[in-house]
Amino acid sequence: MEPAALIGLDWGTSSLRAYRIAGNGRVLERREAPRGILAVQDGAFAEALAEAAGDWLEAEPDLPVLASGMIGSRQGWREAPYAECPAGAPELARGLVEVEGPAGRPVRIAPGLLTRDAAGVPDVMRGEETQILGELGARGTGDGRFVLPGTHSKWAEVREGRVTAFATYMTGEVYDVLCRHSILGRLMREGPPDPSAFRRGLDKAAGGAAGPGRLLHDLFGARTLGLTGDLPETALASYLSGLLIGAELAAAAPSEGAEPVVVLGSGTLTALYLEAARHLGLAAEPGSPDCAALGLLALARAAGLLGTSDAHP
Amino acid sequence: MEPAALIGLDWGTSSLRAYRIAGNGRVLERREAPRGILAVQDGAFAEALAEAAGDWLEAEPDLPVLASGMIGSRQGWREAPYAECPAGAPELARGLVEVEGPAGRPVRIAPGLLTRDAAGVPDVMRGEETQILGELGARGTGDGRFVLPGTHSKWAEVREGRVTAFATYMTGEVYDVLCRHSILGRLMREGPPDPSAFRRGLDKAAGGAAGPGRLLHDLFGARTLGLTGDLPETALASYLSGLLIGAELAAAAPSEGAEPVVVLGSGTLTALYLEAARHLGLAAEPGSPDCAALGLLALARAAGLLGTSDAHP
């Protein structure tokens, strides 16, 4: 077993991803368990960690362990209060909290980020800031704009290694509740994704008059286009997806001529965002699939957890 | 019993409202039953009508009976195909369909309206067009802009007695599914309406950058303001309501200097829309509470159902 520099945990709401990470950022081993914080009963986080990676902990008893994500929320293992923007690795490292893991092993938990917009409305993230840090390292830059698609998409702006501002879009969750619980779902029928209906939704969202309220109107088209037979019932979910992702991109994506936005994540949702950006003429490119592990390593380094023998490479 | 000119039925998804209407538009009697089309089993619409107004039908056996609303939809008594905009009383009257009511009594059902926007996306209404016709009569005008707040708010533009265009906003339903099924509902606690949080939501929705996608971001504030303690948990639903109604008004309401929009309907939702318009500096005024009955009478007259003895007053 090649020696690692860190055991990193990307511990979110629905899953726990564990990495053995070498000092140069290479992921030596990875695991994923359906043990997100909502799936752990009665605060048995140490037990969940032992189950997922107890052999790693025993095999390298001196290796530091660092977690980020919802594990640091009020509903997690221990609350790590938010760091306020602008914040980068040094600010996040100062906010680590420590808990006792399996067999007394110390486990550090990273804070999330908090920002406020001009109207004073707060926004929060937990875990995404670590992925962004990792991607900055992979690119060897301290600047950029990032989107992390998901149930709650996060858009972040980074300058000189610090997240200066970010915004959450409830796109994925709104799609889900409308399909499952609103009148829009009643006409929908299961079917393969319909790229043409998806693009029609994108165009509808990106064109026409401005104003945030227009979305409340556009949504109804995911019913009426089915009522009139303009779209088959199997295409209505793709149209709705296009409407919502198109609205998010039109509101959040950089304008023409700007640096490309980096799409972080993996799987079909990320591919959908890249396709949507391409269709709408917005510059976007995929990030590294290992950005979470890289970010955990960068944080551990900033916190001095890796020891003097593992200085900046 | 003062003789009526028409038995009018405003028959929607969740309720049946029945009116005995005099030739001058006065409502002589009114009833409301929880017998909307979703509450009538196995197509027993004649039985539901007999139960709600059988005594009226028997007492005046020659009185015409006219219904409008979802009763004319595919899920109703009989489908009355949509009239296409621009359409007013004459076009709607041409689209009446007839069914056999209690004891063979003919019952006419009015069509709804269909419009298409510049992108070809259709929109539909059933019942609201009748309320608008009634309000035009009450005001003695053929022009105006109208909003009918509800689960699906309808905004309509009327010129020379015809609805030229309209748009549905899913505001009420989006509010409902987000409160009941999304993460936003988890922090909310029951409490009396919070006017200050409602106005904060209105301001947030109406201010800031444009773009329909911004709503997907603003919604998240109904969680984060609670997380940080900026708003008490009992105020979050009012904030969300303000965000959504504010977004709808900002997108749909006439701009400064335009004629006031007429808010049709009754109850707390209408009051909320009037308050929101006032707060945002948009000109709005309430319509007649009897506009549905007045509209049914106008439609019956346009269809020649009232006989020659009841010409235009």
Q: Residues A10-35: pLDDT tens digits?
A: 999 999 999 999 999 999 999 999 99
Taking 60 as the threshold, does the pLDDT of residue A284 lie above it? yes
Q: In chain B, whose CA is at the least distance from the CA of A118?
A: B208
Q: Closest Cα of chain A to B242: distance in Å?
A: 12
Q: What's the one-letter identity of residue B28?
A: L
More confident residue, B103 or A256: B103
With tokens 């994923």, the residue in question is A32
B160 close to B200: Cβ distance less than 8 angstroms: no
Whether A122 and B171 lie within 8 Å, measured CB to CB? no
Whether A247 and B220 lie within 8 Å, measured CB to CB? no
**What pLDDT does A251 receive?**
87
Identify whether A86 is preceded by a cis peptide bond (ω within 30 of 0). yes
**What pLDDT does A245 receive?**
96
Chain B interface test: which of A186, A215, A280 (most B C-beta within 10 Å): A215
Cα gap B295→B83, rounded to integer Å = 16
Cα gap B216→B205, rounded to integer Å = 11
Q: Closest Cα of chain A to B203: distance in Å?
A: 9
Hey, which residues does A106 pair with through a beta bridge?
A100
B190 close to B198: Cβ distance less than 8 angstroms: no
Q: How far is CA B27 from the centre of its chain?
A: 19
Partner residue facing B228 (CB), from A122, A174, A209: A122
Partner residue facing A173 (CB), from B120, B182, B249: B182
**What pLDDT does A163 receive?**
98
Cα gap A310→A304, rounded to integer Å = 9
Partner residue facing B121 (CB), from A114, A225, A244: A225
Q: In chain B, whose CA is at the least distance from the CA of A219?
A: B170
Those residues with Cβ within 8 angstroms of residue A54's Cβ, 6 or more apart along the chain or in another chain? A102
Within a 10 A sphere around the Cβ of B185, how many other Cβ atoms?
Answer: 17
Q: pTM to 2 decimals?
A: 0.93
What SS3 state is found at A160?
coil
Those residues with Cβ within 8 angstroms of residue A122's Cβ, 6 or more apart along the chain or in another chain? A114, A115, A116, B221, B224, B225, B227, B228, B230
Assembly ipTM? 0.92
Cα gap A140→A287, rounded to integer Å = 13
Give pLDDT tens digits for A168-223: 999 999 999 999 999 999 999 999 999 999 999 999 998 866 566 789 999 999 99
Taking 80 as the threshold, does the pLDDT of residue A77 lie above it? yes
Q: What's the one-letter identity of residue A288?
A: S
Hey, which residues does A18 pair with through a beta bridge?
A9, A31
Query: What is Dmax (Cα atoms) for chain B?
Result: 69
Whether B216 and A246 lie within 8 Å, measured CB to CB? no
| H helix count then E strand count, chain B | 11, 14
Q: In chain A, whose CA is at the least distance from the CA of B203?
A: A119
Whether B170 and A182 lie within 8 Å, measured CB to CB? yes
Give pLDDT tens digits for A41-61: 999 999 999 999 999 999 999
**What pLDDT does B311 receive?**
45
**What pLDDT does B254 receive?**
67
**What pLDDT does B256 receive?**
63
**What pLDDT does A210 receive?**
59
Q: Which of B273, B266, B274 has its CA nearest to residue B10? A: B266
Contacts of B183 in chain A (CB under 8 A): 173
**What pLDDT does B312 receive?**
47
B271 close to B295: Cβ distance less than 8 angstroms: no
Q: Closest Cα of chain A to B307: distance in Å?
A: 36
**What pLDDT does B17 receive?**
97
Q: Closest Cα of chain B to A5: distance in Å?
A: 35
**What pLDDT does B3 receive?**
87
Contacts of A157 in chain B (CB under 8 A): none
Average pLDDT for consecutive 10-residue bins of chain B (313 residues)? 91 96 96 95 96 97 97 96 97 98 97 94 97 97 95 96 97 97 94 96 83 86 96 98 95 76 92 96 93 97 81 45
**What pLDDT does A311 receive?**
45
Those residues with Cβ within 8 angstroms of residue B26's Cβ, 6 or more apart along the chain or in another chain? none
What SS3 state is found at A108?
strand
With tokens 């020891």, the residue in question is A307
A76-92 burial, b if ≥16 CB within 10 A, otherwise e? bbbebebbebbbbbebb
Rounded to whole angstroms, what are the CA distances from B207 to A63, A249, B242, B286?
50, 19, 12, 25
Looking only at the bridges linking them, the beta strands covering B16-21 and B27-33 are antiparallel
B59 close to B7: Cβ distance less than 8 angstroms: no
Partner residue facing A247 (CB), from B118, B170, B213: B213
Whether B216 and A247 lie within 8 Å, measured CB to CB? yes
Partner residue facing A220 (CB), from B152, B183, B218: B152
Contacts of A219 in chain B (CB under 8 A): 170, 174
Taking 60 as the threshold, does the pLDDT of residue A312 lie above it? no
Q: Which of B220, B209, B201 has its CA nearest to residue A116? A: B220
Q: How many CB pairs under 8 A join A and B?
A: 172
A308 pLDDT band, cuts 50/70/90, is low
Within a 10 A sphere around the Cβ of A230, how many other Cβ atoms?
Answer: 16
Cα gap B234→B162, rounded to integer Å = 44
